[in-house]
Structures are given as structure tokens and as C-alpha cells.
Structure 1
Amino acid sequence: MIKCNVLHLLLAISILVSTSGCSSSAPMAQPEATPHEEKTVQPPNAPTPSTQSSSTETPAAVPTATALPKPPFTLEEILAYQGEVGRFSGSSYNESALKAELDKLPEGMTEEEIYAYILQLVGENYQEEKRTFDELEKVNYRQALLSIDPSAPAPSQQTKAKMNVEVILDASGSMAEKVNGGVKMDLAKKSIQDFLGNLPNHANVGLRVFGHKGSGADKDKLLSCSQTELIYPLSGYNPNSFQSSLQRFGPKGWTGIATALEAAQQDLQNSYREGMENIIYLVTDAKETCGGNPVEVAKLLHESEIKAVINLIGFDVDDEAQRQLKAVAEAGGGTYTTVKDKRDMENVFQQYLKNLYEENRNWMQKAVDNVWNEYEKDENELIATQKAMLQKTAVEYERLQAAADYLREKGVLNKPQWLNIVSWMDDRWLNLSDYADDRWISIGHKMDVEWMEAAAEVEHRWMENGRELDQKSGKVALRIGNLRAPKIRIAPLRTRPIRF
């Protein structure tokens, strides 16, 4: 009995020691707490995480769906969107790569989040088209007119092309000689007076003389060659004032053509405004006798800022003088004409007046052409921008729908979700397409009106100038402006697709 109790005691102690040893060597593992799973999505344009250097790869952190920008819904929001275009937009489209990105969508995303994700993949940016439309809306074809006639900054101001016409008359001693019809000086004065009196009212006229001091004697050469005088300063023509100016000088000294041209350049420069036409008519009966170089001076004058055109009239000159005067006219960008008597002198100035008729016509045509070229350039850009935007919108719409259809086929979207998302896509396509058409119509109409008003203004000025020339020349020409009408622009009718 005692032996049995001892055995029971030893067994109990052994069990106790054994249990105590196991408890101290390995505590029982506790189950880990399961974290709350947050819905996440990798934005399509996010960079791919780099591979970890350790042998065991750790998944990169994926941003939450809130990292996606809110998708633009209204037209104003779409046009204001300045983010990057989708990774698979435009020429970067890749259908298989697109589907691979769509497969990464986690479950439980909202319709708006899915729509934003698709836009990040294939959506376009329309900032460039909007900027182009906005710039074209600022058309002002009157600026093209001002490039021809900057003297008329506004319709309320005088809108005629200004010109400076200066006649330089040789008053050397030889101009006292007689030819058929009278004394050279008297014939020249009369023809010049008639010519300037028949110029349009908007022309500034001036008269400069040389050789009117001293005499033809050698002792007076220095005095005569150094003197040239602006007898009638550049201004509007006044018959009485001009007549008085003609009586202030007569033929006396030497022929200083170069000195007179140098002084004329200063005359024209003083009254010059950008775009003004400057014309010189020089009447002489001899070559340069004061040692100057009229050819070089004429060249510099013609190539200067004022770009004066120098026409020469040789009054009963010899062959040597004729050769020099032709060279002066050529260097000055003008013409040379020889006259022998009264009739020739009258005819040459009549021809100059006829040339002004043609210049008036050429000025009008040049101005209209300038305006038309500006209009046509803008019209072509407007059409190209509209077509490009419609094409971009159509391609984007097709790709957006294809992405939505793929997600429906994969079971990511049920029918109500799919209908809601493609409805937003329909709205986007309709809004952008209508915007492109509306801008094409409204801006195009404004361009039409601007072009018609600018062209009509040019023609009005042309007819006004022509009527003045008619009144002064005693001739009447028929001038009729063109009839113009705005273009007809009609946008196609678009409707929302019907889906069941």
C-alpha cells in the first residue's frame, strides 16, 4: 500500500516537471489581426515601381482611387482640363495594352471612378483647339488696310492714301532759252502749276529750285552751286500761294542737280510718315555742272527709309546730258523723258497724271488683295481646326466606348453601370462636336463680315480718290464696287445613340 502511494507521487512529480519544461521553450502562436482592406487603383499614367534589390519582391504601394482626378463632365470643364492626354490617346493607341490596363481595375469602384480611369487611358486634351478658335475670333482686317495706308487709323479719320510730290526745277541760266512755244522757264512753270493743281487733294506738294542765285559766270559758280531753295514747302496745294512762289525766281546760274536732290531728301523726310508715297519730278535742261554726283545721290535717296521715286524730264538736252539724266532716273527708281517744246512738256505732265489714275487703281487692288489674303488664311485655319477637332473627338469617342464595352464583357460593369458610363461618353462627344461646329459658324461669320466691311472701305476710298482725279482732269471713269455676301455654314445634326 505504501509502495503504491510512493509510485503515484513519483509519477505526479514527473508529469509536473515535464509540463513546466514545454511551457518555457515555445509560446503558442497568436493569430494576426486582419487589417481593413481599402479599395485601391493604380492611375494609368503612374510610373511603374522599380524592382527591389532583395531576392524577395515587395509589392509597390498602390494609391487609392481618390488619387484619380475627378472626371470633367460639362463642356466648360472639358475645355478647361489641362492635364496630360491619356497614355493610349492619339497615335499611341494600343488595344491589347489598353485591355491589360483595364484588367487591373479592382472590384468595387464607383462608376465615376471607372469613367475617370478610362479617361486617363484614352482621353484627349482640347486646349490647343480652344486657343486657336479664341485667336481666330480676334480678326481685324482693318490692320491689313493700315499696312497700305497707316495714315488712316480709324474710319472716322481721313482714309485716303497720302503722298508727297516734290518738283525740283532747274533755274540755271540756260532755262532762259527759247524753244518752240516759248521760253523754257515759262513753259516749265506753267506745266508744273497745271500738274500740281490737278493732283488729288490728299497729296502734299512742294517746289524746290536750284541755280536761281548768282549767274552763269565762273565768279558766281560757288554761290550758285551752293544754293537751292524750297520755294513752296510740302503742303496742300493752294493756287494763289503757289502762283506767288513761281514769281520769286528766274533763270540765272549753274546746274547743281546733286545738291538739290540732297536737300529734297530732307524735305520729304521732314513730312514723312510710315507708308507714305514719295515722288520727285526733276526738270532740267542740262547735266550736272557743279561737280556733284547726282546718280549716287539718287540711288541713296531711293534706297533710304522714304524710298523716294525720282523721275527726270530732260528739256531740250544734248546726248551727254541725256545719258546722265537717264542714269539718275534709273538709280532713283523712276523714268526719264526727253521733251523738246511746249507740247512735249504739257504731254509729259499729262502722262504723269494718268499714271496716278493707274496707281490709284493699283493701290486699291493691292489693299483688297492684302485683306483677302488675310481672310483666306484665317478661313483655312478655321476649317482645318474644326475638322481636326471633330476627328479627334470621334476617335476618342470610339475608344472610350470600346473600353466601356470591354469592361462589360469582362463582367466588371453590369448593364445599368455600363449605360450610365457610356451616357457620359455620349455627352462628351456631343458637347465637343457641337462646340467645334458652333465655333466654326460664329467665327466664320465674323470673319466674313470683317472682310466685307474692310473691302468695301477700300473700294470707297478708291472711288473717292478717283472722283477727285476725274474732277480735276475733266474725265469721268466708271467705278463700281463688288457685291459680297457672307458664306453659308450649316452644321450637321447629331443625336444621342439609343441603347437597350
Structure 2
Amino acid sequence: MRKLMTFICSAAIILAGCGSDDKKETSEKTDAAPKEEVKKEEPTEQWWNKEPDYYEASDAGRELTEIENQLMRKPGPLSGDQYDVQKAKKKLDELPKDASKDEIERAILSLIHEDYHEETETFIKFDPSVNVDVSRPDEKTEEPAAKKSHFAILLDASGSMNAKNQNGTRMDEAKDAINSFIETLPGNSTLSIRVYGHKGSSADKDKELSCGATERIYEGGADSAKVTEAMDKLEAKGWTPIGKALSETKSDIPEDAAASIVYVVSDGIETCGSDPVAEAKKLAGEGIQPIINIIGFQVDNEAQTLLKKVAEAGNGEFSYVDSKQELEKYWEEEYQRMMDAWDEWKAEGMKQADEKSEELMNLATETGNSIMDKSELEFKRAEELIAYLEEERKLENAGDVWSRFYDRQTDIWQYGYHTSTDNWQDSYHNGNDVWREFYNEGNAKWTEYYHKTY
């Protein structure tokens, strides 16, 4: 019995010893084994968190406003005609359930952001100025009053101008008509009167003297009193050197004259052997390019034929008159031509002002409407996608994003509306101002000529 107990006890000690060593060995092995590291995945940037791309405003010339900077953002892949609600929903399914309001807003906007950049650039560079370019009747100057027009009158003082008429001689009637015409000229005009045939007599012995003499008897402003004084002692005497008078009238025209008209008052043909047609062509070819208008005063058929050719060579017109009344009528018609020119200038300027103003107003309206329409379309689509995320995906923050898109749509709509309205108003008022400038100046010049004529 004692032996049995001794065996059991020994066995227990052995077993106990073995268990202890095993545990120790196992522990040592465990301690010696290297610990495995848990690898964490690096977070990747979700597409909805990427920074958007923007267009650069070309030649802006000023700092863009906050809303303008926003509207220069490049459009989303599902904006405009590319919108597909199923594609948009499928893309938004990638949002996590706990997506924040910012993430939801960015995700929707990155998909459906409309393209506003062309309209925004139009408004950034919009110039409501109404610029009208209409050549004034006196052309080469900005202000009609500053224009220096020269009227050169060549008066026939040959012996035939002594012929009697109902109101005196032809010379008397020509002088009266010339004075009446001068009173109608613009105050800034310059005037010269050159006579020919006033020396010697119509006798053969005086032909050389008479044919070789033309004289400028007046040079200055359109002063009828001074012109009357210069012509008072003038008598009709000799031959008719029309060609020589035309050749010498170039020296009567001031160098700074921007326009010139030569009037030849004659009752006959060239009698001194010169070539008035050739002289008219030569004068018309000068830099100033004067217009030579011929007034045939009670001329016969032969004289009419010659004077018509002279007028054509000088790019002018021939007019036959038979009395003082017809001569005065001729001058009145010349003056009426000036009135008509101002009337046409006024009408064309007013027309262009209306057209250009309307063009700018239409551009302002169309641009604003485009921005407003796009903002409403963008908001409508945003509402549809927010409802999907809220009702079907059950994203708890989706409902709170609605107000953000509402505020965004309001800001964009207001920008389009107010900018359009402001530019429309500026274009309208500028057009009216230019219209009134043409109306007032055209009327003033027309009235000035009218009163001088009548």
C-alpha cells in the first residue's frame, strides 16, 4: 500500500513537472514569434471631393465678383443635354451612408453644374456704349462748324452781260442773285469772286487785253455787304476767257479748305481761244477735287453745249437759267441740297443709334435669360437627386442640402437678372443720348440753312 502511494505521488510530481515545462516552452515559443502588423489601407480621394476646374476669363479688365468666379466653373459631365437621371443616381450610389452635407452637395454639383462661362464672360466684358459712325455732310471733320468749305464764284463780265432784261442788265441780275446766295452760306465758309471779261472792250483791238485779264475782286468770309461793295463798280465790257479764269481759280481756294465748289456764271461761250473743258479736268484732278457747277445765264444752244461739257469735265452740273428769278432759284436749290444732306445725316445717325442700342439691349436680355434658365434647370435636377438620396438611399444628411441649392439658384438667378437689367438700361439710355445728339444737331443745322434760304 505504501509502495502504491509512493508511485502515485511520484507520477503526480512528474506530471506536474512536465506540465510546467511545457507551458514554459510554449510561452517561450510564443514570445519569440514576431507580431504580425495590421496594414491600414491608405484613404483614396473620392471623386466628389476633388477640386473643380475653372475657365479663365480672358481680358476681364477687372476683378471678378464672388458669384462670377463661381460661374466660371467648368460644367459637370451630366449637365445640359448630357443629363441622365439614371446615370446620376448610379454615380451617387457611391456615396457612403454617412456622407456629410458638404460631400452630398459637392457630389451633386460636380455632376450637374451647368456651363455659365460664356454668358458670364459676356457680362464681364459688356460695353453698353452706343457708337455710331455716320459721315457728316461736310465729311472730313468731326464738327460741322469746324469745317472750312470754300465757294469760288467765277463771274462773266464780258460785254454780252450788258444785255437788258426786265430787272436791269444780266450783270445786275447776276450780282443780286450772287448776294442772295451768299446770305445762305454757313458762317464758317470762305468765299472768293473772280471776274473775267471786265477789261478793255469787245472790240478786236482790246481782245488781247481782255482775254489776258481775270481778277479776284473778293476773298474772305460769306459777308454779303462786303461782296456787294466789291461788285458795285464792276462793269461788263470785254471778251470771255472762261478757260483762263478756271486755270487761275486754283489760287483762290485756300490750302486748308476741306471742300470746295466752283460756280461759273456765264452767258456765253469761250471767245479767247483757251480750252475750258481741259482746264476743268485739270482743276478737278487736283487734291482738293472741286466740283465745277456751271450756271448758263440766258445762253444759246452753242453756249449750252460748251458749258455742259465744262461742267461734266469738272464733275459738276450744268443749269440753264433765263432770268434773275431762275438764277436765285438755282442758288436756293444748291442750298436745299445742303439741308437735305444734314437731314439724311440726322436720319442715318438716329437709325444707327436705334439699331445698335437695340442690339446691345437684346444681347443683355438674352444673356441674362440664359443664366436664369440654366440656374432653374440646375436646381430642378438637384431637387430630383436630393429626393433620391433622401427617400431611396436614406442618407440622413440629404434633406438638409436642399436649402443650399435653393440659395445657390437664387444667387445665380439674381446675378443674371440684375446684370441683364443694368446693362439693358445703360444701353437704352446711351442709345437715346446718341439719338438725341443726331436729332438736335441735324435739326439745328437744317433750321440754320432754312432760315438763311427763306
What TM-score do the two structures reach when normalised by structure 2? 0.70
For 1:34 and 1:346, the matched residues in 2 are separated by 115
C-alpha deviation, 1:114, in angstroms: 4.3
Aligned to 2:292: 310
For 2:91 and 2:286, the matched residues in 1 are separated by 73
C-alpha deviation, 1:304, in angstroms: 6.3
C-alpha deviation, 1:428, in angstroms: 0.5
Asked if 1:178 is matched to 2:176, the reply is: no
Deviates more, 1:398-407 or 1:377-386: 398-407
**3-state DSSP of counterpart to 1:103:** helix
Aligned to 1:337: 319
- Checking the alignment, whether the CA contact within 8 Å between 1:132 and 1:385 is kept in structure 2 is no
C-alpha deviation, 1:263, in angstroms: 3.8
Aligned to 1:52: none
- Checking the alignment, whether the CA contact within 8 Å between 1:185 and 1:251 is kept in structure 2 is no
Of 217, 221, 230, 1:235 maps to: 221
Of 87, 96, 103, 2:84 maps to: 96
Q: Superposition pairs for residues 8-19 of structure 1, below 5 Å?
A: none
Asked if 1:36 is matched to 2:42, the reply is: yes
Of 117, 122, 126, 1:129 maps to: 122
C-alpha deviation, 1:325, in angstroms: 0.8
**3-state DSSP of counterpart to 2:110:** helix
- Checking the alignment, whether the CA contact within 8 Å between 1:207 and 1:233 is kept in structure 2 is yes
Q: Cα RMSD (Å) of the superposition?
A: 4.5
C-alpha deviation, 1:209, in angstroms: 2.5
For 2:145 and 2:164, the matched residues in 1 are separated by 43
Aligned to 2:349: 371
Change over 3 Å in CA distance of 1:392–1:75 after alignment to 2: farther
Change over 3 Å in CA distance of 1:178–1:241 after alignment to 2: closer
Asked if 1:324 is matched to 2:306, the reply is: yes
Aligned to 2:152: 166
Asked if 1:281 is matched to 2:281, the reply is: no
For 1:295 and 1:87, the matched residues in 2 are separated by 77
**3-state DSSP of counterpart to 1:139:** coil
1:61-80 residue CA offsets vs partner (Å, 9 max, x unmatched): xxx624545999x9933446
Q: Superposition pairs for residues 299-448 of structure 1, below 5 Å?
A: 306=288, 308-339=290-321, 344-356=322-334, 358-408=336-386, 409-410=388-389, 411=393, 414-448=398-432
Identity %: 25
- Checking the alignment, whether the CA contact within 8 Å between 1:68 and 1:117 is kept in structure 2 is no
For 2:77 and 2:274, the matched residues in 1 are separated by 76
- Checking the alignment, whether the CA contact within 8 Å between 2:114 and 2:374 is kept in structure 1 is no
Change over 3 Å in CA distance of 1:170–1:241 after alignment to 2: closer
Change over 3 Å in CA distance of 1:249–1:116 after alignment to 2: farther
Report the structure number with the largest CA radius of gyration: 2
Aligned to 2:276: 294
Q: Quick check: which one's helix share is greater?
A: 2
Asked if 1:86 is matched to 2:75, the reply is: yes
Of 185, 194, 198, 1:208 maps to: 194
For 1:89 and 1:449, the matched residues in 2 are separated by 46
Question: What letter is aligned with 1:349?
Answer: L
Question: What letter is aligned with 1:37?
Answer: P
Change over 3 Å in CA distance of 1:427–1:67 after alignment to 2: closer
Aligned to 1:460: 444
C-alpha deviation, 1:83, in angstroms: 4.6
Question: What letter is aligned with 2:365?
Answer: K
For 1:279 and 1:229, the matched residues in 2 are separated by 18
- Checking the alignment, whether the CA contact within 8 Å between 1:175 and 1:285 is kept in structure 2 is yes
Which structure has more relative contact order (CA 8 Å, sep 6+)? It is 2
C-alpha deviation, 1:218, in angstroms: 8.3
Change over 3 Å in CA distance of 1:294–1:84 after alignment to 2: farther
Question: What letter is aligned with 1:65?
Answer: K
1:315-357 residue CA offsets vs partner (Å, 9 max, x unmatched): 4544322212122224445442345xxxx34123310243155
Aligned to 2:4: none
Paired residues, number: 405
C-alpha deviation, 1:394, in angstroms: 3.5
Aligned to 1:272: 257
For 2:382 and 2:403, the matched residues in 1 are separated by 9
Q: Superposition pairs for residues 24-63 of structure 1, below 5 Å?
A: 33-41=39-47
Aligned to 1:196: 182
Change over 3 Å in CA distance of 1:440–1:199 after alignment to 2: closer
Question: What letter is aligned with 2:403?
Answer: L
C-alpha deviation, 1:168, in angstroms: 0.6
1:355-375 residue CA offsets vs partner (Å, 9 max, x unmatched): 155335413421320221122
For 1:301 and 1:102, the matched residues in 2 are separated by 86
